Amino acid sequence: MTTTPTPTPAPNGRTDALTRREQILKEAARLFAERGFHGVGVDEIGAAVGISGPGLYRHFPGKDAMLAELLVGISERLLDGGRLRVTESDDTPRAVLGSLIDGHIDFALDDRPLITLHDRELDRLKDEDRKRVRQLQRQYVELWVAVVRELYPDAAESEARAAVHAVFGLLNSTPHLGTPLGRTELETLLRGLARGAFGALGA
């Protein structure tokens, strides 16, 4: 009897093999980011994953549900990943902050369509979903603020929070960079810029 091999975990904790549902969401994110939410039809999303448009309704009730799952889902993943990095680390606050930075850089480079979607389409979510995204984002910010204040105890809370938002703005600018830099070079640049921004709190 043959068995199906277990997908190998990727460096970011996910598996290399995507489920059909994940494939749909990935292509929906790409198409929504490229042409806008209203510029993409269900049939086009279906064609991108090799199924009929109506076949998508076995997975999602419509485009609104896809958008909600994309934006709520990435907010949950960022928060869960950040918490994991903090709770599993026995290192210094500097090392913990470095780990948070590295995790957000991975997001900023791997999920650029979702950054574009958030900027353009967040207001299209239902009130309940939009509030959920905002709640998750606030918790993610406060996670960072706590680590930053531990590393820079002389910084006021307002300064630490402003620095966190500034670094998010910096890292989340990746969809607009248009840089010829390779992945490694861009990671190194973003890491240095983020650490430099936080370093200003200790100046």
d(CA 174, CA 108) in angstroms, rounded, equals 6
The total of other beta-carbon atoms located within 10 Å of residue 40's CB is 20
The total of other beta-carbon atoms located within 10 Å of residue 171's CB is 20
Mean per-residue pLDDT of the chain: 89
Question: What burial class does residue 167 get, using C-beta atoms within 10 Å of its C-beta: 0-12 exposed, 13-18 middle, 19+ buried?
Answer: buried
Tokens of 170: 């910096």
Q: Average pLDDT in the 189-199 region?
A: 96
d(CA 175, CA 53) in angstroms, rounded, equals 28
d(CA 148, CA 129) in angstroms, rounded, equals 29
Query: What pLDDT was estimated at residue 14?
Result: 44
pLDDT band at 127 (very low <50, low <70, confident <90, very high): very high
Query: What pLDDT was estimated at residue 11?
Result: 38
Query: What pLDDT was estimated at residue 134?
Result: 97
* Residue 151 CA: distances (Å) to CA of 43, 65, 113, 136, 170: 50, 40, 32, 23, 20
Q: What is the pLDDT of residues 68-114, one digit of tens each?
A: 999 999 999 999 999 999 998 878 999 999 999 999 999 999 999 99
- pTM, 2 dp: 0.85
Q: What is the pLDDT of residues 158-175, one digit of tens each?
A: 999 999 999 999 999 988
List the end-to-end C-alpha distance of the chain, in Å, as a whole number. Answer: 65
Tokens of 64: 């609104």
Q: Of 3-12, 36-45, 68-77, which range is least confident? A: 3-12
Question: 174, 110 in Cβ contact below 8 A?
Answer: no
Single out the residue of 102, 99, 79 nearest to residue 88, CA to CA. 99
